Amino acid sequence: MAVQLSLPIKLNDAATFENFLIPPADNRQLLLTLLRDQWPQGKEPILYLWGRRGSGVSHLLQASCHAAHARGLPVQYLPLSVLIDHPPAELLDELEQLPLVCLDDVQLAAGRRDWEEAMFGLLNRMRDTGSCLLVGGDAAPRELPVVLPDLQSRLGWGPVFQLETPGDTLREQVVQFRAMRRGMTLDNGVARFLVNRAGRDLHSLMDCLDQLESRSLQDKRRLSIPFVKQVFGW
């Protein structure tokens, strides 16, 4: 049995499949179905997701970990944005013993030979043990400026999915959906105002929603444009 890493890595409780909004006709439904219902089961030992910040890559990696935990599987989520300065050989040692490893922000390891060699070794060991690796980055494998060409090909072994950054209309739908999941009502006008003022990425919008939830409960106020302006000083 692999030893779990004693690192300050905590999954976002809200990063679940249930909280990931995809319109019915969106082709990402296929990816969501694959991750939620059909993987990891050994058929595809590696999946690679890529997209710009706010596209949902990190959300889906963490959702996969939550789902695996719910099935009683030991997993490890490794966001390189937090861990890139740790010794990679120590971090990745024996992870092939886990049925699922999620490696996020992989673009940060590109060009760093120590990380590339450690990742290449992990990929080979996971192939031998039949474990599954879910990788997230901001670029496709062939576009990563890696030093080891073999690592580039390994990362593209399995299916590669691009997640587009949602446009304003979908951002409005997402923030309303996430507000509803928290028991809050956010009408179209307030959602549009938030999207226009809070920044274009979903991380900023969710941070704003956290603050609004706290203040609305504290002040016992409904979510309106005047209230949003008061909370953020806009």
Superfamily of domain 28-162: P-loop containing nucleotide triphosphate hydrolases (3.40.50.300)
pTM greater than the 0.75 cutoff = yes
Contact (Cβ atoms closer than 8 angstroms) between residue 105 and residue 81: yes
The pLDDT value recorded for residue 33 is 85
Domains 28-162 and 168-232 share a fold: no
The pLDDT of residue 62:
96
Residue 42 confidence (pLDDT): 55
Q: Which CATH class is domain 168-232?
A: mainly alpha
How do the domains of the chain map onto residue ranges?
28-162, 168-232
Long-range contacts from 187-191, C-beta under 8 angstroms, 24+ separation: 187/223, 189/225, 190/223, 190/224, 190/225, 190/228
The predicted pLDDT at position 6 comes to 55
* DSSP H or E segment with residue 49: strand 46-50
Whether the Cβ atoms of residue 74 and residue 98 lie closer than 8 Å to each other: yes
Reply yes or no on whether the pLDDT at 4 is more than 70: no
Query: So what's the pLDDT on residue 43?
Result: 64
Q: To 10 degrees, the CA torsion angle through 2, 74, 32, 132?
A: 20
pLDDT band at 207 (very low <50, low <70, confident <90, very high): confident
pLDDT in tens, 129-142: 999 999 999 999 99
Tens of pLDDT along 18-59? Answer: 888 877 667 678 888 888 887 766 567 899 999 998 889 999
